[in-house]
Amino acid sequence: MTMRPDPTFHASPKLAMEAAAENFAYTLLLSPDFSKPDALAVIDVKPGSPTYSQIVHTVTMPNKGDEFHHFGWNACSSALSPLTGHAFIERRYLIIPGLRSSRIYIIDTKPDPTKAKIHKIIEPEEVFKKTGYSRPHTIHCGPDGVYVSTLGGGGKDGTNGPPGVFIVDCETFEVLGRWEIDRGPQTLHYDFWWNLPRDYMVTSEWALPPQFENGIVAEDLLANKYGHRLHFWDLRARRNVQTIDLGANHQMALEVRPAHDPVREYGFVGVVVDTTNLEASIWTWWREGGKFHAEKTATIPPEPAPKEKLPPLLQGFGAVPPLVTDIDLSMDDRFLYVSCWGTGEMRQYDVSDPRKPKLAGSVHIGGIARRTPHPNGKAFAAGPQMVEISRDGRRVYWTNSLYSTWDDQFYPDGVPGVEVMANVGRNGGLELDKNYFVSFPDGYRAHQIRLEGGDCSTDSFCYPSA
Amino acid sequence: MFDGLLLLPVGLDWAHASQGWLWLALVASGLYHGVNPGMGWPLAVSAGLMDKSPRALFRALWALAAGHLLATLLVLLPFALLLVLAEWQRSIQLGASLLLIGFGVYRLVERRHPRALARIPPTQLALWSFAVAIAHGAALMLVPIYLGLCQAFELDAGHEAAGALMKASLGMAVLVSLVHVAAMVSAGGCLAWLVYRHLGLRFVSRSWFNLDVIWSTSLILVGVVALGFNLASWH
């Protein structure tokens, strides 16, 4: 309990953009063969600092085989929700779920990020017992607790019952229980986010654990058995109010990015692959007249490539699918960043008109066939994957690993962990920063990035910017 | 804390307390509840900004006022009815004071806020305001002032017919609630309007102090002061 709200809580996205820039980037490291414990790396991102672009601290976990993926803060700007009225918690703890182990680590980042340490460990049994879910994935700080989405239900392979969302107390880190009261037709899960004052949540679908834990199941993909629906929920009533099917060929609807400004009742979702033509797509969803709608608003074509440049999985297709595996929206809701992990491209779309995204910038780096090196000359394995934008929208950071077993299928030559950063022009445009290149220790891959003081996929707001 | 201080004069002479002081305390409690962000003024700011209209701000204020008023009436009502039992007057006052102290101590020990509040949708501001006023003991804080005013107006004298007495005590309950809510909505409304029109959203997080302990202490303090003068007036 503090006397004042945390200074990194902001009432509106505009205020968040005006706040001081980040000094540290937290990045999750995973050991793909489970030979080493996973870790959290703290990277110095303060320009001019003698340790700029270097790992200045590492928190190594006491277990192996957790498979770190996504993570998040215990509290953020949503704590200023006028409905909750008690903004006296700190943005202090990082909540890191092990996607494979279902274990959750709580990391204390105070008094200093370079002294971050384990505060508490929630063992998998507690998650299983209290929620009936497994394989925790996305973390969002809500005004009334930490929301955690899961990819698995009960049982050893996570197929006993549907996956869903559960809530953890943001101070005691006690698992409180399931969030859903009525899930409607929802049986798969991936990402979720919300519009707090408009009181709705949006969730997406990836797959059940047997479809991803040992690698992508090509037969399931070609049979359109991966997720392809969006679910819209009444947030406080915890009820599924509408489900939109994007069409079975639009396989794997992953990251959900609502506009940060709560007066804007729209958002985006990325679809990994269209099984009819290997295309990736961006969809815009919006609420109008009390109903939700969604339409495909941008497509990214596959790139033909000779067989010898392709991994066995893709050789029959003679082309590289773009594989849009992450998207992220800038704090002012102007630019949408789209990771094309297959073709090795980071795209920047101007989404000022949300239903007409315009390509505003692009950089190539890595890629299955292109293998574009970093401008500093170093190799960049795999392609742009988890992307995070600074609050002010001037810097875009990304890493290169998707998921241990999938990395090996698409990039059999290995995926040494790398983190890079691109600078954004005032009116768009992207340019990789030659001086920012983080190589992680041997045997580690890098996944999601979180920025000190909040970032564009963490904070949600209850007041508009205007 | 300032709330408790303002209320101190309430019982300087509890038995024949100056009506002026009691009314002042009532208004002060309204102002105190009004400026407390936990009672809802930031919701009015949010509503005004979300709908880009000052009208939405005032609509939200009305809803908040209605909820708070209902909560106050609901809490004062049983005491208004009990006042008919004139010979129990002292026990009622004693009970009210102890209830307030007990609730304040409970709020001090149990810092968590009821999770049920998190289920109320943002479209139901009146319900939210009602639930928050009940859950935080906002309405309970008025009981000693109400009883004091009834006493000052000699509504408890017992020489009147029960019917007339009840009418008078119910009338006083309505009046006390209205005055309190009017003060609350003026303070909260002014603050909401200032932030909406002039100060900007930065003020929301800057002005927000943790009132949890102060609030609980205010409840206890009002209870203790009332109790002290209850006991003093017996001798």
In whole angstroms, give the CA distance from residue A22 to residue A19.
Answer: 9
Task: Judge whether residue B231 has pLDDT over 90.
Answer: no
Question: Are the beta carbons of A116 and A71 closer than 8 angstroms?
Answer: no
**Which residue does chain A place closest to B128, by CA atoms?**
A83
**Which residue does chain B place closest to A15, by CA atoms?**
B202
| Residue B52 forms contact with A (CB below 8 Å) | yes
What is the per-residue burial (b if ≥16 Cβ within 10 Å, else e) of A322-360?
bbbbbbbbbbbbbbbbbbbbbbbbbbbbbbeebeebeeb
When the pLDDT of each residue in chain A is averaged and rounded to a whole number, the result is 96
**Which residue does chain A place closest to B38, by CA atoms?**
A85
Q: Among A1, A4, A85, select the one facing B38 at the smallest CB separation.
A: A85
Q: Among B46, B117, B132, select the one facing A462 at the smallest CB separation.
A: B46
Chain B partners within 8 Å of A459 (Cβ): none
**Which residue does chain B place closest to A263, by CA atoms?**
B50
For an interface test with A, give the residue of B39, B46, B51 to mutate (most A CBs within 10 A). Answer: B46
Task: Place A336 in a pLDDT band, splitting at 50, 70 and 90.
Answer: very high
Q: What is the mean pLDDT of residues A324-331?
A: 98
Nearest to A120 by CA among A191, A181, A174: A174
Question: Are the beta carbons of B177 and B72 closer than 8 angstroms?
Answer: yes
Indicate the pairing of strand A418-424 with strand A430-439.
Answer: antiparallel
Identify the bridge partners of residue B206 per DSSP, sorted by sequence position. Answer: none
In whole angstroms, give the CA distance from residue A131 to residue A154.
Answer: 9
Q: What angle do CA A390, B207, B221 make, to 5 degrees?
A: 140
Place of tokens 């002005």: B207
Place of tokens 């119910």: B170
Task: Judge whether residue B15 has pLDDT over 60.
Answer: no
CA distance B27 to chain A (A): 23
Chain B partners within 8 Å of A196 (Cβ): 122
**Which residue does chain A place closest to B125, by CA atoms?**
A83
| Residue B1 forms contact with A (CB below 8 Å) | no
Q: Which DSSP string do the residues of A232-298 spell out, in sequence order?
A: EEETTTTEEEEEEE--TTEEEEEEEEE-SSTT--EEEEEEEEETTT--EEEEEEEEETTEEEEEEEE
Sign of torsion over alpha carbons B210, B211, B214, B217:
negative
Percent of chain A scoring above 70 in pLDDT: 100
In whole angstroms, give the CA distance from residue B76 to residue A213.
Answer: 61
In angstroms, the Cα distances linking A109 to A99, A114, A392, B175 are: 22, 8, 22, 53
In angstroms, the Cα distances linking B81 to A373, B74, B88, B164 are: 82, 11, 12, 12
**Which residue does chain B place closest to A172, by CA atoms?**
B112
Q: Is A65 left (phi over 0), alpha (psi -120 to 50) or beta?
A: left
For an interface test with A, give the residue of B136, B208, B213 to mutate (most A CBs within 10 A). Answer: B208
Chain B stretch 121-140, residues whose beta carbon is closer than 8 A to a beta carbon of chain A: 121-123, 128, 132
Task: Place B2 in a pLDDT band, splitting at 50, 70 and 90.
Answer: very low
Going by the DSSP 8-state scheme, the letter that residue A440 receives in this structure is P
Asked if B50's CB is within 8 angstroms of A82's CB, the reply is no
Task: Judge whether residue A351 has pLDDT over 80.
Answer: yes
For an interface test with A, give the residue of B33, B127, B210 to mutate (most A CBs within 10 A). Answer: B210
Does residue A398 sit in helix, strand or coil? strand
For an interface test with B, give the residue of A83, A199, A200 to mutate (most B CBs within 10 A). Answer: A83
Question: pLDDT tens digits, residue range A49-62?
Answer: 999 999 999 999 99
Q: Name the packing angle between helices B41-50 and B162-194 (round to 10°).
A: 50
In whole angstroms, give the CA distance from residue B70 to residue B76.
Answer: 10
Q: Among A14, A85, A236, select the one facing B37 at the smallest CB separation.
A: A85
In whole angstroms, give the CA distance from residue A229 to residue A220.
Answer: 16
Task: Place B1 in a pLDDT band, splitting at 50, 70 and 90.
Answer: very low
Residue A62 CA, chain-centre distance (Å), reads: 24
Asked if B45's CB is within 8 angstroms of A464's CB, the reply is no
Where is average pLDDT lowest: A379-388, B7-16, B151-160?
B7-16
Asked if B212's CB is within 8 angstroms of A11's CB, the reply is no
Asked if A463's CB is within 8 angstroms of B204's CB, the reply is yes
Chain A partners within 8 Å of B122 (Cβ): 83, 196-199, 236
Question: Are the beta carbons of A349 and A338 closer than 8 angstroms?
Answer: yes
Instruction: Quote the number of domains for chain B.
Output: 1
Asked if A263's CB is within 8 angstroms of B46's CB, the reply is no
Does residue A308 sit in helix, strand or coil? helix
Q: Among A12, A82, A144, select the one facing B42 at the smallest CB separation.
A: A82
Asked if B38's CB is within 8 angstroms of A80's CB, the reply is no
Asked if B123's CB is within 8 angstroms of A82's CB, the reply is no
Say which residue, A80 or A85, is predicted with more confidence. Answer: A80
Asked if A15's CB is within 8 angstroms of B113's CB, the reply is no
Backbone phi and psi for residue B26, each to the nearest 5 degrees, phi listed first? -65, -45
Percent of chain A scoring above 90 in pLDDT: 96
**Which residue does chain B place closest to A6, by CA atoms?**
B205
Task: Place B16 in a pLDDT band, splitting at 50, 70 and 90.
Answer: low
pLDDT of residue B154: 65
Residue A177 CA, chain-centre distance (Å), reads: 23
Confirm whether pTM is higher than 0.90.
yes
Task: Judge whether residue B46 has pLDDT over 60.
Answer: yes
Nearest to A252 by CA among A160, A341, A330: A341
The distance in angstroms from the start CA to the end CA of chain A is 31
Question: Are the beta carbons of A349 and A360 closer than 8 angstroms?
Answer: yes
How many DSSP H helices and E strands does chain A contain? 5, 30
Question: pLDDT tens digits, residue range A284-299?
Answer: 999 999 999 999 999 9
**Which residue does chain B place closest to A461, by CA atoms?**
B46
Contacts of A446 (CB under 8 A, 6+ apart): A27, A28, A29, A30, A41, A386, A399, A400, A401, A417, A418, A419, A438, A440
Residue span of the structural domain in which B61 resides = 2-232
Task: Place A138 in a pLDDT band, splitting at 50, 70 and 90.
Answer: very high
